[in-house]
Amino acid sequence: MKKKLHFNSATIHGGQEHDKAYGAVMPPIYQTSTYAQSTPGGHKGFEYSRTHNPTRLALERSLASIESGKYGFAFSSGLAAIDAVLKLLRPGDEIISTNDLYGGSYRLFRKIFEDYGLKFQFISMNNLDNFNSVINKKTKLIWIETPTNPMMNIIDIKAIVSLVKGEDILVAVDNTFASSYIQQPLTLGADIVMHSATKYLAGHSDVILGALILNNKELAERIGFIQNASGAICGPMDSFLTLRGIKTLHVRMQRHCENAATIANYLNKNSKIEKVYWPGFENHPNHLVAKTQMKDFGGMLSFVTKGADYNAAIKIVERLKIFTLAESLGGVESLAGHPASMTHASIPKEEREKSGLVDALIRLSVGIEDVRDLINDLEQAIG
Ligand SMILES: *Cc1c(COP(=O)(O)O)cnc(C)c1O
């Protein structure tokens, strides 16, 4: 298969070979730590499973294929993947990151890597002028997350890539919220794509797994070295589950997007709702960027109910029956969250409210159920 596959075929066949031993159509779960050698060094390409494992390799090839990249790496979690990216840097290096950031990434940056001499600057990337005051000779990495969580801001990846063109600065994109179906940052010029594959890629809320995809050979060799040297790899079973999830990514994403669009429009017309955050609305501040850089608007949205406070929002999420109240996102089942008391509770209220994250905000990860049942559930919970 030399010709580049279309996305909806790459999810199923991309980078895959049939099993050479028995012709198994699905990649077997090679639950082994080591491999027999006929003479010292005489092996079939696999020596020890921290370094390489055939099931993980099948997943890594699939990841590269669906992200239009050359090299894929799978890790034990999304955070382990981010950890590997930061290990490319040296004390004194500076990182510019989106301020509306996944809480776990923020914690890893501030509580672990700051102590190793890295310096992080957090800015709103909606306005490129904000880079002027923070970018300097020590800047080595720009960390982008788009759409942002939970305010659904859209950041222009291509514009940021152009801004640092020719400089010794890497651009990395956390592509978890969009998934490879909706957005392909490498094709927009980014150097590194990261996924919490725990979410849309695996898609069934049954595995924790992280991924990095790159195009540059030298950079990929360094990431491969870090993956093996630090050892935060995923096991064969988790690799298998993620690979299986990826095979239906395109059909799941189509339904996630369709259902989220229907719900966003339903909420927008509901007189009890104050505001809906979803990049598909024409009056969303970054709608045009979303339209050009994304294939669709995704399965995530947030909303605020009129007159609701902290407790009223909690009551609404507690009344939901089909939407499960839980952390995480991207599974086939719908989830609801209350950021002010859950994912973003550690951020002070005044800080939260600066970006619009009020106490009444509710975040939905819209699943692939029949959308009529989801709307009925919201209707009864909002009251
Ligand atoms: C969940 C998540 C992560 C962390 O991934 P884990 O697999 O939980 O380690 C990073 N970024 C985003 C946007 C996430 O949603």
pLDDT tens readout for residues 252-301? 999 999 999 999 999 999 999 999 999 999 999 999 999 999 999 999 99
4 is catalytic: no
Query: Please, are residues 302 and 151 in contact by the beta-carbon 8 Å criterion?
Result: yes
Domain final residue pick, 228, 246, 264: 246
pLDDT reading at 1 higher than 60 = no
Least confident residue range of 42-46, 334-338, 344-348: 344-348
**DSSP 8-state secondary structure symbol assigned to residue 343:** T
Q: Are residues 255 and 210 in the same domain?
A: no
Domain final residue pick, 246, 264, 298: 246
Containing structural domain, residue 31:
7-246
CA distance 242 to 63: 10
Q: Are residues 201 and 265 in the same domain?
A: no
Q: Are residues 355 and 311 in the same domain?
A: yes
* Mean pLDDT across 104-126: 95
Catalytic residue among 199, 252, 352, 363: 199
Q: Are residues 301 and 363 in the same domain?
A: yes
Catalytic residue among 19, 35, 50, 244: 50
Is residue 215 in a domain? yes
Res 347: pLDDT: 77
CA of 362 to the centre of ligand 1 (A): 19
Ligand 1 in reach of 102 Cβ (< 6 A): yes
50 is catalytic: yes
Confidence of residue 343 (pLDDT cuts 50, 70, 90): confident
Q: Are residues 35 and 56 in the same domain?
A: yes
Q: Are residues 242 and 273 in the same domain?
A: no
Q: Are residues 253 and 234 in the same domain?
A: no
Q: How far is CA 84 from the centre of its chain?
A: 16
Is residue 146 in a domain? yes
Ligand 1 in reach of 337 Cβ (< 6 A): no
CA distance 249 to 61: 16
- Identify the CATH number of the domain in which residue 371 sits: 3.90.1150.10
* Mean pLDDT across 7-30: 92
Using CA of residue 366, residue 368, residue 369, residue 375, what is the dihedral sign?
positive
Coil vs helix vs strand at 5: coil
